Amino acid sequence: MKHSAQNLSQLKVGQQAIIDSFTDPVMSLKLLEMGCTPGEMVELIKIAPMGDPIAISVSGYLLSLRKAEASTVLIHLLAR
Amino acid sequence: MKIALVGNPNSGKSTLFNSLTGLNQRTGNFPGVTVDKKTGIVRIPQPGKKNGWEFEFVDLPGTYSLYPKSLDEVVSYQVLCDPSNEDYPDVTVVVADASNIKRNLFLVTQLIELRRPVLLVLNMADVMRSQGTIINREKLCDRLGIPVIYSNARKKEGLEEIKNQLKNGVEASAKTFFNQLPAADLFDSLRKIVPVGAPYAAWQVLSNYSQLSSISEAQKIEIHKLGITYGFDATAFQAKESVERFTTIGNIVDECVEHIPIDKQKQTKKIDRVLTHPVWGYVIFLLVLFGIFQSIFFLAQFPMKWIEGLFVKVSQWSAYHLPPGELTSLFVNGVLAGLSGVVVFIPQIALLFAFIAILEDTGYMARVSFLMDKMMRKFGLNGKSVIPLISGIACAVPAIMSSRTISNWKERMITILVTPLMSCSARLPVYTLLISLVIPSDKKIFFFSMQGVILMGMYLIGFLAAIFSALVLRFILKAREKSYFIMELPIYRMPKWSSVFYTIFDKVKVFLLDAGKVILAISVILWVLSNHGPSGSFARIDKKYEEMAAPVAGDASEREMKKASEKLEASYAGILGKVLEPAIRPLGYDWKIGIALVTSFAAREVFVGTMATIYSVGDKENTKSIREKMIEEKDPVTGAHVYTVAVGFSLMIFYAFAMQCMSTLAVVYRETKNWKWPLVQFFYMGILAYVSSFVVYQLLK
């Protein structure tokens, strides 16, 4: 399994990853309650036409968030 | 019995609320916040039970967790966790989206651990089944310790079961979902300071005590000290709890939920490929905006004219049948006219909210935010601000009401404060009259009529002023809560028409009762000002006209108009105009314009009617004769024409920027529940108007 200290905002469309941890404790609370827990799988579905925000698939539904918010989520890519 | 209705956003909670309570709903206030409180009563007769059953439902703002992250969520938190809160429920009904069960269970399990009666409603059961998911209801009941009921709120399925369960009684569950309980003595120490029920409730208090208004300052200090003694870190604790909770939920879901993996969002993803496409997404959005705009601007005209006609008929009937005199005049010309001015807004409000309800219900509204967020953020606005701004070109009243869809306080405030700068349809008659006055109709710029270009220019100026003011306000206003964009993109659904109907009904009712009172009061005051003068003045004018020789045939109506003009000049409004004159001279205005500025406060288009009266033109629709009279008008001192290009533009700019609409102020008051904001708006726009008109006049004269 590839291991790199990437964050969620760096994912490309269609890539899947596992959530590792969070860099912003306060932001993490909001993300956690929305189902973005460590060990959960996410997939980048779409980037908005102007480049921001992004839409990811997580915990069985579609979640949209700004790149700034996504950058606080540390992930590792899932090799296909 | 008091019942709190809670659940995630997009779980169909409000649809359930509407299906249960129908028209027995009321919109009220939560103290201290601008979030509306929706309550509704369900009465079930029961033979042998006096008065049957009465359930009072309170529809709380949607939330993902008990820990409040926004002002809206603080409301839910206070109702559910503070026993002294007036809406503290006997039973909590949680509405969950059955097709999204994992995330929804977060709130459910938190509520269960408060050790109060909870009932779980698995809504959107139809969506769940179509995705191939099967939930073992008995197992879930068992693991959670609470009753679980399937429902499809749109088809009104499951409602009877819910009512029956409530009648049979709901008990609190003893299940726990995470094990990070505080040391026993911490819990006991806390209980000495404030009454706390369950251990989890104690955790909530420890984490969020600053948000509980029922706790005194002294108690808050005590709790804070207690936290320090035990090394309590609220953020770290909440993070640990969330992770553990989801682990337990993961286990529950694995046990109770079985589903065949079908791509749940296939249809939604397909639709999104078009609706959030870099080109088509925006094209379709523009079409939607255009549709909204056209209906408020154009379609609404038909019912509006009908309403106006109706009021005219009632006025005429009243004037005919009621005894002549002051009181009748007050009723017919003051009160009835004022009421007409309130009721006439209903078609526009109804149409705009019908659109918005459909956009929200189908799930498209979230995509609007998704598409527009980056652009709007720069101005301190939200993606959803586009709708009020565009609607404001038709009319600011429904536009400002629609800003309610924006949950962040600062973004909503900025939207409300700048929307009136978008040139609304009431300014159009003013622009048209003044442009035709000072710009010859045959003048062209390239191939376009100069008049048309100037008109477009006025709209552009309004737009630029709005954007620029938003930028300024972004730095002046302080945010009251952290601004998150993090938002679910729900799957697309057909709109539920009865929901749309209830929304319209609710919004119109709220407008009539809250804003309507203010508008009516101000219009009666304005009527009094323009139709009464200091003692004797009106009587003197009447006498003067009586003593004149009988008019030549054909001159009678002209004499009546002259009389009306003199009366207006002698009225309080006229006096106000003369008092204002020195202040508005630097802008190029005389006292006659001053009167119009005062009366325009009722509605900007009243400017034209007032000009008609001042210049003794009987037919207010006859702008040609108004214009002819105005062109003739000469300054009594200098002999120069009053309505020069400079004055024309100065006046247009003034109308573009000044807050001259009492209905808008009334609505801003209603939406912010405070007179501070309408006053702030009045003054900042007034100053903007004054300074801009001054500059324009001085430059052009």
> What does the DSSP assignment read for B111-124?
HHTTTS-EEEEEE-
pLDDT (0 to 100) of residue A1: 47
Contact A9, A67 (CB under 8 A): yes
Q: CA Rg, chain A, in Å? A: 11
Complex prediction ipTM: 0.93
Which pair of structure tokens corresponds to residue A19?
């959530």
Q: What is the pLDDT of residues B513-526, one digit of tens each?
A: 888 888 888 888 88
Question: How far lies A57's CA from each of A66, A72, B224, in Å?
Answer: 14, 17, 39
Please check whether residues B237 and B321 belong to one and the same domain.
Answer: no
Is there a contact between B659 and B685 (Cβ–Cβ < 8 Å)? yes
Report if residue B143 sits inside a domain: yes
Name the band, by pLDDT with cuts 50, 70 and 90, for residue B92: very high
Residue B203's nearest CA partner among B245, B141, B249, B170 is B245
Instruction: Check whether residue B545 and residue B454 sit in a common domain.
Output: no
Strand-strand pairing, B118-123 and B91-97: parallel
Q: How far apart are CA B64 and CA B9, in angstroms?
A: 8
How far is it, in rounded angstroms, from Cα B615 to Cα B95? 64
**Which residue of chain A is at minimal alpha-carbon distance from B280?**
A49
Specify whether B685 is located in the same domain as B542. Answer: yes
With a cut of 70, say whether residue B182 has pLDDT above it: no
Same domain, B635 and B673: yes
Residue B598 binned pLDDT confidence (cut-offs 50, 70, 90): confident
Listed range (A20-29, B250-259, B332-341) with the worst mean pLDDT: B332-341
Tokens encoding B634:
């000469």
**pLDDT at site B420:** 95
Tokens of B128: 């769940």
pLDDT of residue B472: 93
Higher pLDDT, B629 or B637: B629
B151 and B222 within one domain: no
CB A8 within 8 A of CB A42: yes
> What value does the mean pLDDT take over residues B379-407?
89
The interface residues of chain A toward chain B in range 16-55, judged by CB-CB distance below 8 A, are 22, 25-26, 28-35, 37-38, 40, 45-46, 48-53, 55
Query: What are the structure tokens assigned to B343, written together?
Result: 């009721």
Quick check: B621 pLDDT over 70? no
Cα gap B16→B4, rounded to integer Å: 12
| Mean pLDDT over each residue of chain B, to the nearest integer | 86
Q: How many CB pairs under 8 A join A and B?
A: 112
Question: Where residue B78 sits, what CATH number does that domain have?
Answer: 3.40.50.300
Same domain? For B132 and B253 the reply is: no
Mutate to test the interface with A, among B106, B246, B279, B482 (most CBs of A within 10 A): B246
Closest to B589 measured CA to CA, from B694, B661, B439: B694
Residue B311 domain flag: yes
**Cross-strand bridge partners of residue B376:** none
Query: Is residue B78 scored above 90 in pLDDT?
Result: no
Is the separation of the CB atoms in B567 and B585 below 8 Å? no
- In the predicted model, is pLDDT for residue A3 greater than 60? no
Q: Are residues B249 and B361 in the same domain?
A: no
**% helix / strand / coil in chain B, to the nearest 5?**
65, 10, 25
Share of chain B above pLDDT 70, in %: 96
pLDDT digits (tens, 9 = 90+) for B498-507: 888 988 998 8
Measured distance CA(B608)–CA(B628) in Å, rounded: 13
H or E stretch at B640: none
Q: Which residues pair with B397 in a beta bridge?
A: none
- Rounded distance, CA B434 to CA B564, Å? 23
Q: Which of B536, B563, B531 has the alpha carbon at shortest distance from B547?
A: B563
Q: Exposed, middle or buried, B109 (CB in 10 Å: 0-12/13-18/19+)?
A: buried
Q: Do B148 and B289 fall into the same domain?
A: no
Which of B116, B133, B168 is at the close of a domain?
B168
- Interchain proximity A30–B277, CB inside 8 Å: no
Q: Does B265 sit within 8 Å of A51, measured CB to CB?
A: no
Average pLDDT over residues B409-434: 91
Helix boundaries (H) for B131-233 = 137-144, 159-168, 184-193, 199-208, 217-229
- B15 CA to centre of own chain: 20
Residue B275 to residue B281: CA distance in whole angstroms = 4
State how far residue A23 is from chain B, nearest Cα, in angstroms: 12
Q: How far is CA B263 from the centre of its chain?
A: 38
**Which residue's entry shows tokens 């726990």?**
B176
Mark whether B217 and B334 lie in a shared domain. Answer: no
Tokens of B547: 């003593």
Contact assessment for residue B424 and residue B465, using Cβ atoms and an 8 Å cutoff:
no
Residue B288 belongs to domain spanning: 280-425+449-501
CA torsion sign for B497, B502, B505, B508 is negative
Cα torsion A56, B373, B127, B59: sign: positive
Q: Return the CATH class of domain A6-77.
A: mainly beta
Domain identity same for B131 and B208: no
State which of B168, B195, B211 marks the end of a domain.
Answer: B168
Inside any domain, residue B515: no
Which pLDDT score, from 0 to 100, does residue B513 have? 86
Cβ–Cβ < 8 Å for B101, B135: yes
**Chain centre to alpha carbon of residue B548:** 55
Q: What is the pLDDT of residue B554?
A: 63
**Residue B618: predicted pLDDT:** 59
Q: What is the pLDDT of residue B252?
A: 93
Three-state DSSP class for residue B394? coil
CA distances in angstroms from B506 to B26, B35, B38, B50, B502, listed in the order given:
8, 14, 10, 31, 6
User: Is the pLDDT reported for residue B195 higher than 80?
Assistant: no
d(CA B572, CA B531): 8
Clarify whether residues B348 and B497 are in a common domain.
yes
Give the nearest partner residue to A25 out of B101, B239, B488, using CB atoms.
B239
* pLDDT (0 to 100) of residue B551: 67
- The Cα B511–Cα B508 span in angstroms is 5
Give the C-alpha separation, B79 to B105, whole Å. 20
User: Which chain A residue is nearest to residue B281, measuring alpha carbons?
Assistant: A49
Q: Is residue B91 part of a domain?
A: yes
Q: Does B433 reside within a domain? A: no
Sign of the CA dihedral with B616 first, then B620, B622, and B626 last:
positive
pTM (predicted TM-score): 0.83
CB-based contacts of B244: which residues, under 8 Å, 6+ apart? Answer: B177, B178, B179, B180
Domain ranges of chain A: 6-77
In this structure, what is the dihedral angle of CA atoms B618, B622, B623, B626, given to the nearest 10 degrees?
A: -30
Give the best residue of B245, B489, B491, B492 to mutate against chain A (max A CB count within 10 A): B489
Q: Is residue B404 part of a domain?
A: yes
Kindly state the percentage of chain B with pLDDT values over 90. Answer: 31
Cβ under 8 Å to A: B residues 267-326: 268-269, 272, 276-278, 281-282
Q: Tell me what the mean pLDDT of segment B82-109 comes to.
A: 91
Q: Is the pLDDT of residue B405 over 80?
A: yes
pLDDT range class, residue B22, cuts 50, 70, 90: confident
- Residue B176 belongs to some domain of the structure: no
Grade residue B650 by pLDDT with cuts at 50, 70 and 90. Answer: very high
Q: In the prediction, which pLDDT does A4 show?
A: 54
For residue B57, is pLDDT > 80? yes
The Cα B507–Cα B490 span in angstroms is 24
DSSP B588: T
Chain A contact present for B100, CB below 8 A: yes
Q: What is the pLDDT of residues B375-388, one digit of tens each?
A: 998 888 988 899 89
Structural domains of chain B, count: 4
Three-state DSSP class for B116? coil
Instruction: Say what the pLDDT of residue A55 is.
Output: 95
- Are both B347 and B393 inside the same structural domain? yes
What is the three-state SS of B144-168? HCCCEEECEHHHCECHHHHHHHHHH
Contact A30 B69 (CB under 8 A): yes
Q: Please report, to the nearest 10 degrees, the dihedral formed by the alpha carbons of residues B122, B124, B125, B127 taken in order.
A: -140
Cα separation, B433 vs B443, in Å, equals 16
d(CA A74, CA A10): 10
Calculate the CA dihedral of residues B195, B200, B202, B204 and round it to 10 degrees: -120
CA distance B489 to chain A (A): 5
More confident residue, B465 or B318: B465
Question: Among A29, A33, A41, A73, which would you mutate to test the B interface (most chain B Cβ atoms within 10 Å of its Cβ)?
Answer: A33
Mean pLDDT across the stretch B602-619?
77
Instruction: Tell me the C-alpha distance between B439 and B448, whole Å.
Output: 13
Q: Does some domain include residue B574? A: yes
Contacts with B247 (C-beta within 8 Å, 6 or more apart), sequence order: A37
